[in-house]
Amino acid sequence: MSETASHVASGKVREIYALDDERLLLVTSDRISTFDVVLPTEIPDKGRVLTGLSAFWFAQTESIVPNHLIALREDGRSTECRRLEMLPIECVVRGYLAGSGWKDYLATGEVCGHRLPEGLSESERLPEPIFTPATKAQTGHDENIDRAAAVELVGEERFDEAERLTLELYSYVAGRALEHGIILADTKLEFGVDPEGRLVLADEAFTPDSSRFWPADGYEPGTSQPSYDKQFVRDYCETLGWDKTYPGPELPADVVDGTRARYIEAFERLTGVDFAEYLADPASVQA
Ligand code: Q0N
pLDDT at 143: 95
Atom number, ligand 1, closest to the C-alpha of residue 136: 21
**Distance of alpha carbon 110 from alpha carbon 103, whole angstroms:** 10
pLDDT at 137: 79
pLDDT at 1: 53
Nearest CA to ligand 1 atom 14: 203
Angle at 251 between CA 244 and CA 277, to 5 degrees: 120
Listed residue (102, 145, 107) closest to 125, CA to CA: 102
Atom number, ligand 1, closest to the C-alpha of residue 8: 17
pLDDT at 3: 62
Nearest CA to ligand 1 atom 2: 203
**Distance of alpha carbon 101 from alpha carbon 283, whole angstroms:** 36
The rounded Å distance from CA 197 to ligand 1 centre is 16
The rounded Å distance from CA 84 to ligand 1 centre is 8
pLDDT at 262: 98
Sheet holding 14-18, edge to edge: 6-10, 14-18, 23-28, 78-82, 69-72
Atom number, ligand 1, closest to the C-alpha of residue 84: 8
Task: State how beta strands 114-115 and 69-72 pair.
Answer: unpaired
The rounded Å distance from CA 36 to ligand 1 centre is 19
Ligand 1 pocket residues where CB is under 6 Å:
9, 16, 24, 68, 81-84, 86, 88, 90, 136, 190, 192, 202-203
In tens digits, the chain (287 residues) has pLDDT values of 556 789 998 999 999 999 999 999 999 999 999 999 999 999 999 999 999 999 999 999 999 999 999 999 999 999 999 999 999 999 999 999 999 999 999 999 999 999 999 999 999 999 999 999 999 877 778 999 999 999 999 999 999 999 999 999 999 999 999 999 999 999 999 999 999 999 999 999 999 999 999 999 999 999 999 999 999 999 999 999 999 999 999 999 999 999 999 999 999 999 999 999 999 999 999 99
Listed residue (41, 43, 74, 35) closest to 261, CA to CA: 43
Question: To test the ligand 1 pocket, which listed residue (12, 15, 16) has its Cβ within 8 A of the most ligand atoms?
Answer: 16
The continuous run of DSSP H or E covering 149 comes out as: helix 147-154
The rounded Å distance from CA 9 to ligand 1 centre is 8
